[in-house]
Amino acid sequence: MSRIKYIPLRAMALIVAVVVVLIFGKTGGAEFDIKDPENCKLNFTILSDVHVETNNWPRYPAFTQGIQNVNKNKSGNDLILLLGDEVMCGQYFENVIFHGLTSLFLRNETILPVLGNHDAGNGEGDPAKIMKRWYRFTDAFYDIQLENPYYYKVIDGYYFIILGFETGVTDDCIYTETQLDWLEDTLALAAESGKPAFVMAHFPLHWSKDENHQTTWRPLQILQNYYREHDLIFICGHHHTPLQMDQSFRFQNGIPQIYSPSLSQLDNEGQMNEKTGEGIIVEVYEDSVVVRGRNFVKSEWVFDDEETPCERTYTLRFPITD
């Protein structure tokens, strides 16, 4: 019964998505594959900072074309991670457009959304009302029922842990002590899996603040403590950092980190450019995690220069045994 109530919303979103595709074209680009399909244990795609905005037309082809190439992975996607700021202002129709396109082209995919500051209104409107809207769309389109913006999901034995700021809606990434206690408890469960854990947040760790709006290093310390005895990678967005190996794929403050680019990055004139369409493919192997930059609009792998691919291999200190 709970799913039936969303039928009108999902139908409207699909109709809007079809109209958007008719206007901006259906391309999809070429098929691609992961490095070693035979030995890859898990692979997933990271898309971040799409910023669908009702009256910002150049973002529409960026997302419409990019999301179609995500679906061209020959090995399939075990997961698609939406790293926040899917929309610009948290408005209802922005969400209809974004989720209509994801349901049209990624309807058979497992999708995990992360709350971004723009998804929560970016300081405008009624935060409680906008957050309620985010929960509703998350339930309607991804079948994820939330009471808090943080949660976790286990996929093929791998823990994907999503952090979510709770009271800040602009540039204050506030984590309550309740959430951070939950993070420690969830990591304790992940430790029993014998597999690397993936912790995701929209904001980088150095943006973390406590309930008094003061900088806190507790989130980083929790991850550092875990990484001493287990494998872990932290993934974030927000900065819109264009893909470049040393900037995007880091070992920083004692833990491996991935900084995701903006899928719909535009130039100073608000138009698509060579960086528009960038995202990341993550491939998990027995003794390593390989991260690779891909431009989903151009349908090609990203290179730092003519000969150097934008990719990095994180060696697992505790190889996967099953």
289 in Cβ contact with 283 (< 8 Å): yes
pLDDT at 168: 53
What's the pLDDT at 133? 94
List, for the chain, all residue ranges whose pLDDT scores fall below the cut of 50.
1
Can you give the pLDDT at residue 269? 78
Considering only CA atoms, which of 319, 313, 265, 320 is closest in space to residue 292?
A: 313
**Reduced to 3 states, what is the DSSP secondary structure of residue 116?**
coil
pLDDT at res. 303: 93
Structure tokens at 205: 């760790």
For the record, the structure tokens of 285 come out as 């192997």
Whole-angstrom distance, CA of residue 29 vs CA of residue 297:
8
- Per the rule left: phi > 0, alpha: psi between -120 and 50, beta: everything else, 158 is beta
pLDDT of residue 2: 63
Cα distances (angstroms) measured from residue 179 to each of 76, 103, 169: 33, 30, 17
CATH architecture under which domain 4-315 falls:
4-Layer Sandwich (3.60)
Every domain of the chain and the residues it spans: 4-315
Residue 1: predicted pLDDT: 46
pTM for this model (two decimals): 0.94
The model's pLDDT over 229-278, given as tens digits with 9 standing for 90+, comes to 999 999 999 988 889 888 899 999 999 999 999 998 887 777 878 888 99
pLDDT for 10 equals 94
What does the alpha-carbon distance between residue 265 and residue 242 come to, in Å, rounded to a whole number?
Answer: 8
At residue 191, the pLDDT reads 97
Return the percent helix, strand and coil in the chain, to nearest 5.
Answer: 30, 25, 45
Q: Which residue has the tokens 């603040």?
A: 209
The tally of CA atoms less than 13 A away on the side-chain side of residue 305 is: 3
